[in-house]
Amino acid sequence: MPKLDKLTFDEMVGISRKMFYGGFAFLPFLWLVNVMYFFQQSRKSSAPKQLKQYVLWSLGGCIIWFLGLTIWYALFVNERSKWGALGDKITVVIPKGS
């Protein structure tokens, strides 16, 4: 990606929009990159409203994905053995023991 100081705000909005919509294709990492890449630019008073929206929406999407994956992992680790055959089918490596 080009350096931010060489981009116009319209180009930044276009890139940020593409990264935001790309995150819906099960690529939440793209939302995180969008936030990290454009956060400083979106905080400027001269930044367009659309850039700020895409950065904030990307941050929200990234947080929701992180919470969802964390909850799924916690449930899976703690409840897998109670799920019986289904728990075994969705497990890649079955741990020894209980």
Helix-helix angle 49-79:9-22, to 10 degrees:
20
Mean pLDDT of 1-30: 87
Q: How far apart are CA 34 and CA 86, in angstroms?
A: 37
Average pLDDT over all residues of the chain = 89
Whole-number pLDDT of residue 68: 95
Q: How far apart are CA 21 and CA 24, in angstroms?
A: 5
Q: How far apart are CA 82 and CA 94, in angstroms?
A: 13
**pTM as predicted:** 0.79
C-alpha 83 chain-centroid distance: 29
Q: Where do we find the tokens 């630019």?
A: 41
Whole-number pLDDT of residue 98: 58
Mean pLDDT of 78-90: 88
Tens digits of residue pLDDT in 24-83:
997 889 999 999 999 999 999 999 999 999 999 999 999 999 999 999 999 998 998 899
Whole-number pLDDT of residue 30: 94
